[in-house]
């Protein structure tokens, strides 16, 4: 088992999680390849995201718009902004071809907004492209455990 | 001295609670009224259950609800659609689970009673204990009356109400227009966003023909689209209109030039669709087909509200399901072109994701506004919900009444139907 790689991947993904919990969106937007996709599918078994309905399937332009919306103060569902604390763990490297590392992990996220606390668990799969000393995200697929259930508004980035 | 509108709500009859220009707050908050609605409305009129494309083949089924009663929508081997109460006639267990699927029969998991796709009771394990006294012919799954128009399937518990086509009346021509967004291909429901909000179902019913909220509630969405789209969606104060269509149905036309998607196809293709148009040309589609498909992708310029639970809303079906007096489930079903070009359907899917669903740029803000309506409605229980916008300019038409695009004409129409059914 390549524990050095796990450590490197974990350090990168913990940093990403921390950025999102603390609203460091400009840095988050820079963590992606230009062709990167941020995907939240409905069906947990789905693999053809392009040709199916997802909760989100954001390319670079949509990610930038999503970030702009969160900070705009124009959206009543995100004012006040929800507070989130997420834990990311159970990292497992699924593939590594030298250029791209595919890693799967578990994410447990608590959200609090106004007077309601919610809990979202998800399997998250990343495709990370190696760069000098770090990674860029090419795919982030968030499979919510309850994605097929009725959800309420998610006014932040999973 | 107190005026009529200050009367404590207990003193009002149901009929008193719906006036020409306002409805009483208790319509959002009173659990007893909600119980009556399940009986007098959802169990007494035509209720939408599915689009035909959701049950495409023999054995295809969809589980849904009429009011709070679970029903199975299923297509049998002769292609006939049945709507069956999802309740075994033995001791009531549901015989079908899962949102959608395909099956050959329905078998109760409790004692194994089995039913065919049309609901007939086929087999009962160990029948000898009944000594031939089981009336199998009487014990099929309860089958409701089902009728279809423009691919829209409706069911009712009532055998004595008017045929569906009469119930829909002038709404039918708007349904026909709405289906043109197949762009020459059959319409297909290709998934849906489901969400709940803590509020009464009629708050959502009202919203379908509420242009007034759009620029305010959807400001963040408008900030995320191009200038041409912003101008297209700047319809409050524009030439659009709301028209009552009878039986509680209404249509809000926001963008009159997009009523008939096949009209004026030679108009310039909007900038935001230039890339899609080019992709279609590259695939070999003729200019007219490209224009028809691109126009269809953009969706219709109107919202049709069909009482009580379905709307044909610009580019999707909005389905409303009451859960309790203070909770409602909404489905936003995406529409694609069955067999149409993948690039065009991908554009539809991405547009749906952009506005709709729990992570969309539109739905969560609607949901927040409705939640606040419900919260606010717990204050001042003798107060009224005001629905008099556009009343002054209302004029009769061949189909009903019309007023300006941000008039509350559609809501008034729905509440008059509510009153008719609730006091029947």
CA separation for the pair B144, B44 (Å, rounded): 12
Q: B385: part of which helix (H) or strand (E)?
A: strand B384-386
Dump pLDDT digits (tens) for B333-371.
999 999 999 999 999 999 999 999 999 999 999 999 999
Is pLDDT above 70 for A122? yes
Average pLDDT over residues B76-101: 97
Dmax of chain A from CA atoms? 48
CB contact under 8 A, A72 and B220: yes
Does residue B9 have a pLDDT over 90? Answer: no
Closest CA to B58 of B78, B85, B43: B78
Q: How would residue A1 be classed by pLDDT, with cut points 50, 70 and 90? A: confident
Label residue B381 by pLDDT band (50, 70, 90). confident
**In sequence order, what are the residues at sequence separation of 6 or more whose Cβ sits closer than 8 angstroms to the Cβ of residue B135?**
none
- Residues of chain A neighbouring B343 (CB-CB closer than 8 A): none
Report helix, strand and coil shares of chain B as percent, to nearest 5: 35, 25, 40
Range of the domain at A88: 3-144
Taking residues B386-412, report their average pLDDT.
97
- Could you give the CA distance from residue B420 to residue B424 in angstroms, rounded to a whole number? 6
- CB-based contacts of B128, cutoff 8 Å, min separation 6: none
Domain ranges of chain B: 47-156, 169-422
Is B193–A52 a contact, with Cβ atoms under 8 angstroms apart?
no
Cβ distance of A53 and B220 shorter than 8 Å = no
The whole-number average pLDDT for the span A15-37 is 98
| Cβ neighbours of B369 in A, within 8 Å | 76
CATH topology (fold) of B47-156: Rieske Iron-sulfur Protein (2.102.10)
Number of Cβ within a 10 Å radius of residue B183: 24
Residue A138 included in any domain = yes
CATH number, domain B169-422, options 3.90.380.10, 1.10.1450.10, 3.30.70.270, 2.60.40.10: 3.90.380.10
| A155 and B CB contact within 8 Å | yes
Q: Which residues of A touch B363 (CB under 8 A)?
A: 153
Q: Inter-chain contact A153–B353, Cβ cutoff 8 Å?
A: no
What's the CATH code of the domain at A9? 3.10.450.50
Q: Do A150 and B195 touch (CB under 8 A)?
A: yes
Instruction: Mark out the alpha helices in A22-153 (DSSP H runs).
Output: 25-29, 60-72
Q: Average pLDDT of B53-69?
A: 98
CB B349 within 8 A of CB B334: yes
Are A125 and A9 within 8 A, CB to CB? no
Q: Quote the CA–CA distance of B84 and B100 in Å, as a whole number.
A: 14
Q: B377: number of CA atoms within 13 Å, CB side?
A: 24
Q: What pLDDT does A153 receive?
A: 87
Beta bridge partners of B252: B242, B303
DSSP three-state, residue B291: helix
Contact yes or no for B368 and A76 at CB 8 A:
yes
Q: How far apart are CA B68 and CA A94, in angstroms?
A: 44
Number of H-type helices and E-type strands within chain A = 3, 6
pLDDT at B195: 92
Identify the closest residue of chain B to A51 by CA–CA distance.
B346
Say which of A53, A72, A77 has its CB closest to residue B364.
A77
Nearest chain B CA: its distance from A76 CA (Å): 6
Measured between beta carbons, which residues in chain A are less than 8 angstroms from residue B219?
74-75
Residue B159 CA to residue A121 CA, distance in Å, equals: 47
Question: Band of the pLDDT at B8, cuts 50, 70, 90?
Answer: low
Contacts of A149 in chain B (CB under 8 A): 194
CA B3 to CA B133: how far, in whole Å? 64
Is pLDDT above 70 for B2? no
pLDDT in tens, B128-162: 999 989 999 999 999 999 999 999 999 999 999 99
For B202-255, what is each residue's pLDDT tens digit? 999 999 999 999 999 999 999 999 999 999 999 998 999 999 999 999 999 999
Residue A154 lies in a domain: no
User: Exposure string (b/e) for B20-44, b if CB count within 10 Å is 16 or more?
Assistant: eebbbbbbbbbeebbeebeebbbbb
The Cα of B209 is separated from the nearest Cα of chain A by a number of Å equal to 20
Is B364 close to A151, i.e. CB distance below 8 A?
no
| Cis before A33 (ω within 30) | no
DSSP alpha helices (H): ranges in B328-406?
A: 342-355, 363-376
Residue B352: closest CA among B234, B209, B190, B214: B190
| The predicted structure's pLDDT at residue B200 | 98
A67/chain B closest Cα distance in angstroms: 11
- Chain A residue numbers with beta carbons less than 8 Å from the beta carbon of B214 are none
Q: Tell me the pLDDT of chain A averaged across its residues.
A: 96
Tell me the pTM.
0.95
Q: Of A75, A148, A154, which is closest to B358 when you measure between CB atoms?
A: A154
3-state helix, strand, coil in chain A (%, to 5): 25, 45, 30
Question: Residue B3 pLDDT > 80, yes or no?
Answer: no
Whether A156 maps to a domain, the answer reads no
User: What percent of chain B lies above the pLDDT cut of 70?
Assistant: 98
Nearest to B357 among A55, A72, A158 (CB): A55
The pLDDT of residue B7 is above 60: no
Answer whether B195 sits within 8 Å of A75, measured CB to CB: no
CB contact under 8 A, B365 and A55: no
Residues with Cβ within 8 Å of residue A78, at least 6 apart in sequence:
A69, A70, A155, A156, B220, B364
Q: What is the pLDDT of residue B6?
A: 45
Nearest CA in chain B to A56: B353
A77 in reach of chain B (CB within 8 A): yes
Query: What per-residue confidence (pLDDT) applies to B230?
Result: 93
Q: What pLDDT, in 10s, does the model give residues B170-182?
A: 999 999 999 999 9
The confidence score (pLDDT) of residue B1 equals 36
Q: How confident is the model at residue B277 (pLDDT cuts 50, 70, 90)?
A: very high
For A53, name the nearest residue in chain B, comparing CA atoms only: B349
Q: How many domains does chain A have?
A: 1
Q: Is B156 exposed, middle or buried (CB count within 10 Å of its CB: 0-12, 13-18, 19+)? A: buried
């Amino acid at each position: 088992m390549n524990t050095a790689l796990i450590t490197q991947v974990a350090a990168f993904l913990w940093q990403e999680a921390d950025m999102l919990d603390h609203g460091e969106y400009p840095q988050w937007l820079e963590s992606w390849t230009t062709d990167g996709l941020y995907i939240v599918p409905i069906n947990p078994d789905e693999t053809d995201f392009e040709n199916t309905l997802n909760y989100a399937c954001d390319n670079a332009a949509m990610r930038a718009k999503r970030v702009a919306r969160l900070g705009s103060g124009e959206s009543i569902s995100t004012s006040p902004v929800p507070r989130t604390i997420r834990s990311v763990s159970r990292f497992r490297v699924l593939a590594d071809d030298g250029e791209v590392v595919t890693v799967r992990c578990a994410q447990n996220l608590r959200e609090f907004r106004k007077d309601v606390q919610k809990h979202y668990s998800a399997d998250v799969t990343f495709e990370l492209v190696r760069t000098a000393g770090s990674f860029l995200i090419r795919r982030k697929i968030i499979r919510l455990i309850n994605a097929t259930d009725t959800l309420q508004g998610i006014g932040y980035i999973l | 001295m107190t005026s009529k509108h200050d009367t404590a709500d207990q003193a009002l009859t149901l009929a008193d609670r719906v006036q020409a220009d306002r409805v009483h707050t208790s319509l959002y908050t009173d659990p007893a009224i909600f119980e009556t609605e399940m009986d007098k409305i959802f169990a007494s009129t035509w209720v939408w259950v599915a689009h035909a494309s959701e049950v495409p083949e023999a054995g295809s089924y969809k589980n849904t609800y009429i009011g709070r009663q679970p029903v199975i929508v299923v297509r049998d081997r002769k292609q006939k659609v049945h709507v069956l109460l999802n309740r075994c006639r033995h001791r009531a267990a549901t015989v079908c689970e899962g949102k959608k699927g395909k099956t050959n029969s329905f078998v109760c998991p409790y004692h194994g009673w089995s039913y065919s796709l049309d609901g007939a009771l086929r087999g009962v394990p160990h029948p000898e204990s009944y000594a031939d006294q089981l009336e199998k012919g009487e014990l099929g799954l309860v089958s409701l009356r089902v009728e279809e128009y423009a691919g829209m399937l409706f069911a009712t518990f009532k055998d004595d109400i008017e045929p569906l086509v009469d119930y829909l009346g002038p709404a039918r021509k708007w349904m026909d227009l709405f289906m043109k967004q197949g762009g020459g291909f059959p319409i297909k429901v290709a998934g849906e966003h489901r969400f709940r909000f803590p509020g009464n179902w009629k708050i959502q019913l009202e919203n379908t023909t509420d242009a007034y909220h759009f620029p305010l509630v959807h400001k963040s969405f408008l900030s995320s689209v191009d200038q041409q789209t912003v101008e297209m969606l700047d319809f409050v104060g524009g030439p659009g209109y709301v028209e009552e269509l009878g039986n509680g149905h209404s249509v809000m036309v926001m963008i009159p030039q997009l009523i008939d998607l096949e009209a004026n196809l030679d108009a310039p293709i909007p900038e935001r669709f230039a890339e899609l148009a080019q992709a279609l040309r590259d695939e070999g589609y003729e200019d007219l087909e490209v224009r028809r498909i691109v126009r269809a992708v953009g969706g219709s310029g109107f919202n049709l509200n069909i009482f009580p639970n379905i709307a044909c809303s610009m580019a999707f079906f909005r389905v409303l399901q009451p859960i309790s007096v203070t909770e409602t489930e909404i489905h936003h079903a995406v529409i694609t072109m069955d067999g149409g070009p993948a690039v065009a359907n991908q554009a539809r899917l991405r547009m749906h994701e952009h506005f709709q669903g729990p992570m969309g740029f539109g739905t969560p803000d609607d949901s927040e506004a409705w939640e606040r309506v419900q919260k606010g409605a717990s204050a001042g229980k003798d107060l009224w919900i005001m629905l008099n916008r556009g009343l002054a300019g209302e004029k009769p038409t061949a189909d009903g009444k019309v007023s300006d695009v941000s008039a509350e004409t559609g809501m008034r129409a729905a509440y008059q139907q509510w009153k008719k059914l609730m006091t029947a």
